Structure 1
Amino acid sequence: MKVAETQRLILRWVELTDAAFIVTLLNEPGWLQYIGDKGIQTMEDARDYIINGPRAMYEREGFGLFLVERKEGGIPIGLCGLIKRAGLEDVDIGFAFLSEYQSQGYAFEAACATLEYAKELGIKRLIAITTKDNEPSSTLLEKLSMRLEGYVTLPNDSEELKKYGLNLRF
């Protein structure tokens, strides 16, 4: 299901047929460093991740992480979307892109479309979390007008994360 469209991108629900892309993305050095190893090594692991991650959240919340693909060629390049995490009061915007598509404005374009989608859903406030050393993500969040509000540690985790916030205007 298509969620949003920009000049260069389409954001849509993640499908089981995206399993090969998920294996690739979740094993990118940046994903492993800044998000963590989700143990996705096989197509079966990726399908389980899709079913129990994005697809389950779509059913539960009506939103989740969306696959970002380039209009030109329909090439999947990343994930960007809305996440409701345990331990966080507000909905979180998250994103991750293949390294060869970083620093080309795709993440900003997808995140702006995701912010608009959040407004359409009636979400009044978004947050974002990132590791303290993830400067590219912090820069993008600030470009989205999100402001550093402090630090948070998620349940069952020990790492303190930067927490950004943004009140959405309607």
Structure 2
Amino acid sequence: MTPAPTLTTARLVLRGPQKRDLAAFTAWLTRSDRMVHVGGKGTERDAWRGFLAGIGHWQWHGYGFFTVTERKSGVATGRVGVINHIEWPQPELAWHMFDGFEGKSYAFEAACAVRDWAGRTLGLEPLVSLISPANARSLRLAARLGAMEDRRDVVDDEKVIVFRHLSYDDPRAVAQGAGAIV
């Protein structure tokens, strides 16, 4: 369905979106309290359109959100990838973990794999992340990834902190990803 490659880490498989992922995405978009940090909860119609836009993003740019799944169970745990919407300052390393899968370091593991893939394969680096100042969990993840605050901005009418990530070949990024990609 998408030109997305499959990335495999110690605990995860990152692959392109598939029809079977729509239900988990819809539940996250319509019910998760954490949607407050990414524009607010949406409707099932919003989820449908957003899901299809994600597939289109892969077709248009050759990159996008990977569906993150557990290797053992195959269950979709979230989305991590590189996005670059209209009026975005540059490609963004972004993550959304579905309810029940936070706090397991899945986002960190997946983000390390995506940062490496985007730099090594696509030459996209260093990436940025656009994070709401109120999104404490994503702020901690950006810091854990070694990202540094670059500036404050407004994107899509939302105040964000723009974090600049390490280059994929920075020794700190290499150490973070060591053993992550199988």
User: When the two structures are superposed, what TM-score results if normalisation uses the length of structure 2?
Assistant: 0.83
**Is the 1:132–1:161 Cα contact (8 Å) retained in structure 2?**
yes
Query: How far apart, in 1, do the equivalents of 2:16 and 2:129 lie?
Result: 20
Which residue pairs with 2:64 in the alignment?
64
Shift of 1:17: 2.4
Amino acid at match of 1:122: G
In the alignment, does 2:150 pair up with 1:149? yes
Match of 1:29 among 11, 27, 33: 33
Residue pair 2:14, 2:68 contacting (<8 A) in 1 also:
yes
The amino acid of 2:88's aligned partner reads L
**Counterpart mapping for 1:9-158 below 5 A:** 9-27=12-30, 28-30=32-34, 32-37=35-40, 39-41=42-44, 45-51=46-52, 53-119=53-119, 120-155=121-156, 157=157
Report the 3-state secondary structure (helix = DSSP H, G, I; strand = E; otherwise coil) of the residue aligned with 2:155. Answer: coil
- Secondary structure at the aligned position of 1:125 is classed as coil
Q: What's the secondary structure of 2:127's corresponding residue?
A: strand
Percent identity, aligned pairs only?
24
For residues 76-131 of structure 1, give each alpha carbon's deviation from its aligned partner in whole angstroms, at most 9, with x where no partner exists. Answer: 01010000022333210111112311111111001101101111211122000111
Contact 2:29 2:41 in 1 (8 A): yes
Match of 2:165 in 1: 166
Cα distance, 1:7–1:169 mapped onto 2, change above 3 Å:
closer
Amino acid at match of 2:33: P
- Aligned residues of 1:81 and 1:94 also touching (Cα < 8 A): yes
Q: Distance in 2 between matches of 1:14 and 1:61?
A: 15
The aligned length equals: 164
| Greater per-residue strand proportion | 1
Structure 2 unpaired stretches of 5+: 170-182
Contact 2:65 2:82 in 1 (8 A): yes
The unaligned stretches of length 5 or more in structure 1 are: none
State the Cα RMSD in Å.
1.7
Equivalent residue for 2:175? none
